[in-house]
Each structure stands twice: as C-alpha cells, then as structure tokens.
Amino acid sequence: MESAAEILKKAFNNISPTTSRELSNGNSLPEEESQQTAAGGGDPNCPHCRGTGFVMPDVPPGDRRFGKAVACVCRLQMVEVNKADKLLRMSQLGMLKECTFENFMSEGLGLNPPKQRNLKLVYQRVVEYANRPAGWLVLRGGYGAGKTHLAAAVANQRIKLGYPALFINTPDLLDHLRSAFSPTSAQSYDDRFEEVRNSPLLILDDLGTQSNTEWAQEKLYQIFNYRYTAQLPTIITTNEELESIEIRIRSRMADPSISQILTLLAPDFRRAGVDQDQSDLSTLNLHIDKTFDSFDLRDQELPRAQADNLHRAFETAREFAAEPHDWLVLNSIAYGNGKTSVVAVSLKKKKKKKKKKKKKKKKKKKKKKKKKKKKKKMK
C-alpha cells in the first residue's frame, strides 16, 4: 500500500487554487505559483503534512475540494512572503521600496511652525488614504518636498497588507507604452495599456514633466478619464500649478467629489533650513526653478503680435523686480501663459535684493563698531 506522502505527491499536480485561497484568507497566489511554493516542501516537524508541504482536505466525496491537495498551514507564511515579493516586483517601485511612513520625517528639517503643521497634516491625510484608498489623491509641492516619498509609502503600505499597487513615473509610463509598439516587445501595447488603466491602485509620479506631444496628452487623458469614470484609487504627484495642466485632465484632478488636493509647503529636504524667512502663506518655494533666464518667451511658436506682447510683459516684470513700486497686474484669459512664472521670478529677485541690503547693513554696523573701538583705544 502506498504511503500518505506518496499519494499526496502524486496528487500535487491537481492542487486547487480555490482552496488555497480560502486557507490563506483571500491572499493566495495564482495556481502555478502555489504549486511552485508547495513543491519546495514544508516544515519537517509539521504534524499535518510531515514535511511534504501540502495536505488533502478531509471532505466528503461530493465536495469540490475532494481529491485536491492544498498548501499546508506550515507553508502559508512562505506563500505570503512569495506573494509580497511578487507584488513588490509588479509595483515597479525599485529603490523606492525603502520609502515608508516610518522613515518619513513628518516634522521636516528646520521648518518654521506653520510649515511643520502643514507637513504633519499632509502626512496624516496620506496615511489615512493608505489604510483606506478611495478616490484620487493629488500631492503638489516643490522639488524635494516629500511628495514622491509619501506616494511610495502608500504603495509599500498596500503591498504590506497584501494588495497590489503600480507606481510609475509619468514620462516612463509613456516610454513603456511607446516601446510596446515594437515587434520585439514582450508585451503588446493593448495588454500594457490595460494593465496601467485597470491597476487597483495607480500612482503617477511627476505629472507635468512628460513631453507634451498630442499623442502623450491623449494617452494620459484616456488613462485619467477611464479611472475617473470607474472611480479607481489614483495618486498623482506634481510640481506644476493645476492651471498649467491640460484642461481635460485638470478638470478630473480638481473634481472635489472624487479628488482631494494636498499642497506641501515644505522646501526641498536637501536644502533644510534655507528658506525659513518666507511666510507660510507663500507658495514661492513651489517655483524655485523659475528665473528670468529660464523663462520661455516662445518666439518660435507664437504669432508676432502675441510674442511682442509677451516680450513687453517680460520686460515690465523685470523692471518691476529691479525697482518695485506701485502695483503690477498681469492679466490673461488663458491658462498656462506665464503669469505665475513671471510673478515668481519677480518675487525671487526682490528677495535677493532684500538679502543684499541686509548684508550691507550688517557690514556697515560692523565697521561702525570697529571705529568706535579704535576711538576708545586712542583715548
């Protein structure tokens, strides 16, 4: 007569993914992966499987589970570890797998109290979202403010709980979609597009840094519109003002019925303590990359009259930044034509002048003190 272990080994190829799913509380692997983990054997001291890694459920012949081997309880922990590893690979987090809520500095570095409060509030809201993701979450802020870390922490938290999440940089997403058209691609365009569009939790990092071709805009719109209609949990991080984002995408991101927008006022963590003289009401740190030198006058793309008008506004703003007086109002009907950039540049130039004046005053005071000391010594 065959031993129970031999019978179970023969039955191995008939493992039931359904029963495995029931035993692992809804966190089982697909059938082929369940077979792979069971094939490695279980705990040699296990009283249930005696080291084989799987058991035959004690059910009557009419039960659908009858005669189908399932992973033993001693294997479930390994199954969960394998599942977590698989989810992590699927997430495309890469090095960001180290970003967690535990190692995020929720009080910042050298922040003034108002900015500390802002960072703590955003942190708390994101943690709440990670525990129960529903709707959309838009994280805005300057470079290095912590948006990507928080978004990645959500993905890592969901994976830890046994749920899938897809984290992808927006320009990389478009590159992946383009590469799927190649005949050598291992995955078809349709399959790749559906994978992104239907991800249970999609995290798009750095929206606004992609090339704004018509094709790119259309693909992004299709993804956003589908997820908006299906109300699928989505996180978006961006350095951009909402008004500079394509209007169809912006309207969905800004819909209060599905989306919450959180703005991080913290400056770059890598420049901790540099910007503490700035009011907490100011969002100038979101535009740290905007200068008169980097401003695009768009000579090649605008009609002559519009280009001339933009040049006049640019020169007026530069003069105002050099010698601020009265009011300067920049008005335009359209979004994304440079008003915010020009104002940000002007304010930064004004701040630089203030700092120079402060330095000059300090130098004068030092000189006066030195002169007084010399006079006292002479007396």
Single pTM value for the model:
0.56
Q: Where are the domains of the chain?
A: 4-79, 92-271, 290-378
Q: What is the pLDDT of residue 8?
A: 39
Q: Please name the CATH architecture into which domain 92-271 falls.
A: 3-Layer(aba) Sandwich (3.40)
Q: How far apart are CA 197 and CA 222, in angstroms?
A: 8
**pLDDT of res. 140:** 94
Mean pLDDT of 159-168: 88
Query: What mean pLDDT is predicted for residues 186-199?
Result: 85
Encode pLDDT of 216-237 as tens digits.
Answer: 999 999 999 999 999 999 999 9
pLDDT of residue 347: 52
Read off the amino acid at residue 238.
Answer: T
Mean pLDDT, residues 276-294: 58
> Of 138-152, 258-272, 320-334, 352-366, which has the strongest mean pLDDT?
138-152
- 134 has a pLDDT exceeding 70: yes
What's the pLDDT at 273? 47
